[in-house]
Structure 1
Amino acid sequence: MDVFPNFDGLSGIGDLKTVIGAVLTIILVVAVLMIIVSAIIWAIATSTGTTSVASKARTGVLVALGATVLAGAGVAWINWLIQLGEQL
């Protein structure tokens, strides 16, 4: 028995999938840029001995890394749930 969600049951669901994909792309791009910027600031602050700025930049790197992981894991989780639904 093939059970699959009916994505065409609601009007505008295709547009919603497009919007979600675009937002996810924007989140990933911004998170990667924040990792790069925070890592550069972290390196400069560490080399100049500014520990307070270095700790804030390190926090920025970790938060951006967490956002990237959560965004990627969300896609993998949704795909896993759809595949699980097909097996029921």
Structure 2
Amino acid sequence: TDAACDSLYKALAAKGLEALYDDRDERAGAKFATMDLIGLPWRITVGPRGLANGVVELTSRKTGASEEMSAEAAVAKVVGIYAGQ
């Protein structure tokens, strides 16, 4: 998962977006709580099960809605959201 996270981080940075890569050795729930406290509007969750299926999970903090998609699609969607602002 580290390689996939690193790749996502670099892809977002290459598109001019600032990302926070939480690589702490914590449970997912603790990481999610921290991201909510920070107030990040979008979260891309990368896990071993999702990677085995070729997907990541993109979650909106505002609505709580989540959807699974390829890492490339998640990057494109987030880039598209910010391009439309």
TM-score above 0.5, yes or no: no
Query: Rg: which structure is higher?
Result: 1
TM-score (norm 1): 0.27
TM-score (norm 2): 0.28
Return the structure number with greater helix share.
1
Return the structure number with greater strand share.
2
